[in-house]
Structure 1
């Protein structure tokens, strides 16, 4: 089942929700209506128990060039209240989100990628924060997230020079999980999503929560939160199902409970 709008294409592929930025004529630059549509799609991803993983990609030659400056000059808001730029950067979904990147992910487009949990990139993809070349700063999470994803010195270099990072370089620094031949990023991302979706929903949710939160929690907070989540998981129906499936040498059938 798919749902198409002028700016965003949304398609359910089994337990995966594929969201495609659909403004190729402006390199998928984000205007207010695209941001609102993406915010709604991400809310649907979290609300629908049948969905396990989201994929964010762009139509055409670029992933996303960032903010639509013409829309901005026309007075359109650049953020969605409570969710940040593009309806994503300040409030990513609770469920895993994979960026499938072809072409350039620049400025806010790169910040959208950084708000995702995993990144698959075509060989010709590139990433950059060129804001310093325009008298601006990467204010939608790029300067906050990039030094946690790659070595801080490397993040500093790219943030201060505004240079673009190739897909191969991004993969070398661990920013990109999978490299794919040009044009095959989405297919590779779907295969990765399928591997994730085959696992227990509660385990996936708690694992993402703990990995994401550990960067800002104190050690004591991290252990306390992990203990709480572990107690919940161990008492779940899916933990028993996982053990029984292993013993009986059969695929597990997850209930999410």
Structure 2
């Protein structure tokens, strides 16, 4: 068996996914898409893991779909999860993108499927599909307009131009800028800050924010009940209250 195309490691309560196809600038293959899907299943299934971080090896994030594989008839799509095993069905738990170098086409669409974004000051994003006679159908057209102002999203889609991370930070698509080479370490600092909180509350809060965008106003509170009520009744909620009273750090169990 050849080496995995995704390196997976654990840093406390944080699961790190590192795309590792340096010979192809981490272009997405079918194999790597399945490996990402498996890693996200692991993240969601383990109560001792609270946050995921996805990044790329060799100073680049992801250059999009592997066009050589596409020419062979291969599409890096996992049933039920979509492109990269991620964009159609992100994990329940928070996911942070740590971007060095280029995040282009499908690579940018992976970023848009994440909940928080850390990027090197020298990183660049882009949806150049129109330059190739294609469309950004792995979530770019659907998500970008929800993340940034409409006319800016339209400009980026219709021109296909490169977009510096510093400009993305100006409109708050990027949460934190890092010095070149330090996107992952900065993302891990952010992940640790998130992971210090109750895992059930993190997952439920993410789900309400993501799913409530199209809920009717008169149904919002009722609909959020199915996500927040189990958190109120959890052992972690009781532990959080005890820790506050006892003036100590809580010990989360994810139950």
Q: 1:252 maps to which residue? A: 250
Moved over 4 A (4+): none
How far, CA to CA, are the matches of 2:252 and 2:11 in structure 1? 18
TM-score with structure 2 length normalisation? 0.96
1:11 aligns with 2:9: yes
TM-score with structure 1 length normalisation? 0.95
| 2:55 match: secondary structure | strand
Residue by residue over 1:132-183, the C-alpha shift from the partner in whole angstroms, topping out at 9 and shown as x without a partner, is: 1111110000010001111111101100010111111000111000000010
- The farther-off stretch of 74-83 and 160-169 is 74-83
1:57 deviates by 0.2
Q: 1:134 maps to which residue? A: 132
Alignment partner of 1:165 out of 163, 166, 173: 163
Conservation of the 8 A alpha-carbon contact between 2:7 and 2:19: yes
1:68 deviates by 0.5
How far, CA to CA, are the matches of 1:154 and 1:221 in structure 2? 32
Q: 2:236 maps to which residue? A: 238
| 1:98 match: secondary structure | strand
Conservation of the 8 A alpha-carbon contact between 1:8 and 1:37: yes
| 2:18 match: secondary structure | strand
Alignment partner of 1:113 out of 111, 114, 128: 111
**Structure 2 regions of 5+ residues with no counterpart?**
none
1:92 aligns with 2:90: yes
CA RMSD of aligned residues (A): 1.3
Distance change in 2, residues 1:217/1:5 (3 Å): farther
Conservation of the 8 A alpha-carbon contact between 1:121 and 1:179: yes
- The farther-off stretch of 214-223 and 139-148 is 214-223
Residue by residue over 1:35-79, the C-alpha shift from the partner in whole angstroms, topping out at 9 and shown as x without a partner, is: 111111111111111111110000113211100000011121231
| 1:88 match: secondary structure | coil
Conservation of the 8 A alpha-carbon contact between 1:210 and 1:222: no
Q: 1:223 maps to which residue? A: 221
| 1:124 match: secondary structure | coil
How far, CA to CA, are the matches of 2:28 and 2:113 in structure 1? 15
Q: 1:68 maps to which residue? A: 66
Q: 1:156 maps to which residue? A: 154
Q: 1:24 maps to which residue? A: 22
1:104 deviates by 0.7
